[in-house]
Amino acid sequence: MEDHVKKSLEEWKEEICDLLIEIDKEYEEVKRELQVYSYKFSITKQVIQSTVNDEIIKSIRELYHTPFEERFVSLKEEIRDLDEKKKVFQMFVDKIDKVKERNNEQQYSSVT
């Protein structure tokens, strides 16, 4: 493999690795928020189940339960999307490494 190709692939890999770092940061932020909403959603659900007054239940649902549930579901989807992004961009890195490795092996075998 020619030097300019190696250099270009390495630069591309670095760019993708930077993207992966950003995705990881976003993933951790979303994960923390998801934990919070998981607790909030669970707690409101338990309180509703333990409450007998329909008006209070309705109020709790409107104020807390429904918004928490919507945010919880949204964050779960975000986590899935970020997982998929991580996998896809990691495939780029793996493929670049594989091409470089294969080339190194070819060079080594042609030298010996």
**Residues 51-61: tens digit of each pLDDT:** 999 999 999 99
- Helix, strand, coil % over all residues of the chain, rounded to 5: 95, 0, 5
> Is 32:75 a contact under the CB 8 Å cutoff?
no
pLDDT, position 108: 60
pLDDT, position 59: 97
pLDDT, position 77: 98
Span 17-31, average pLDDT: 97
Q: What is the pTM of this model?
A: 0.79
Q: What is the mean pLDDT of the chain?
A: 92
pLDDT, position 3: 85
**Cα-based angle 99, 15, 6 (whole degrees, multiple of 5):** 35
Question: What is the spatial distance between Cα 57 and Cα 107, in angstroms, rounded to a whole number?
Answer: 72
pLDDT, position 103: 78
Domains of the chain, start order: 3-111 (1.10.287)
